[in-house]
Structure 1
């Protein structure tokens, strides 16, 4: 079948219109971004009366990205300081010293939002009972590393810990967040901050 240049141009225009229309549908399907409070809210409030916010065992200030244990040094790092809602933030904890240390496992972390009343975990239980994150002492060798890739949306954050029924409430909102690893035994917690943007 012979096609003229005019036929091909017409088909190209229709294809372009179809692509624009599809892109609009994808944007709509992806949602409108973070729906929670913006900036630095006074506190985090959940309308579900059964919601019991996680309260991680963080005593004292959260150190930066480097801490010394009695035997070694730990380093927490992340890629970037700002992430878009729905994208992933990658965080890695490494033993950069010369000896093993002890940790409470890979789930001994908090994802917190900065509020006027302090840092609060965005997660909690909706069962009406306090949720306990799984923790068990384990050796963290000099070659050891924990790596987390956390998609920044409510369902991914809530389901990141296996066999634990958690929710994020209120929804995530644009503002300053941080990842805190509090499971280093005999050492202060480490934290990295990042801005969640729409």
Structure 2
């Protein structure tokens, strides 16, 4: 019974990606999947899903006027992800694993003294490179750049630029140690090749 349920859910996820193409102008590559319970708000054409990209249940995506979101080939957003793009650009590369309940903000409230925080707005694009893994409940703030081949430990808060080839953790995220040779870019190539097969 479980195998039948899995097959039915996978078929439904592919069908939903096709429906999203028609209903909301989503550009969805081959084998892209949108699972039940994903919420999307944005203009026609503002969402691009690469080949084999996958949005799991409970994911919320919000783009306002002019905002764009690209999820690269073979990348996924695990259940409960929250992506607030607003009017900015969120670019997520190929072979990226975004863990459960990750929050990515291209827009947020400011924290300058002397003015109400609710009246302040901070907005900047966010870029996540190829072969990146964001652990559970990571928070990514406006203007962050995560280069290729980076791991971010669970519960970290990312701001600024994270250099390639490192594992980061903490609040704010700091480099913990370099990735081993078998964890970096060669792994991304293997994942991408697997997804194409």
Common topology (TM > 0.5): no
TM-score range, shorter chain: under 0.3
TM-score (norm 2): 0.22
Higher relative contact order (CA 8 A, sep 6+): 1
Higher helix share: 2
Larger Rg computed on CA atoms? 1
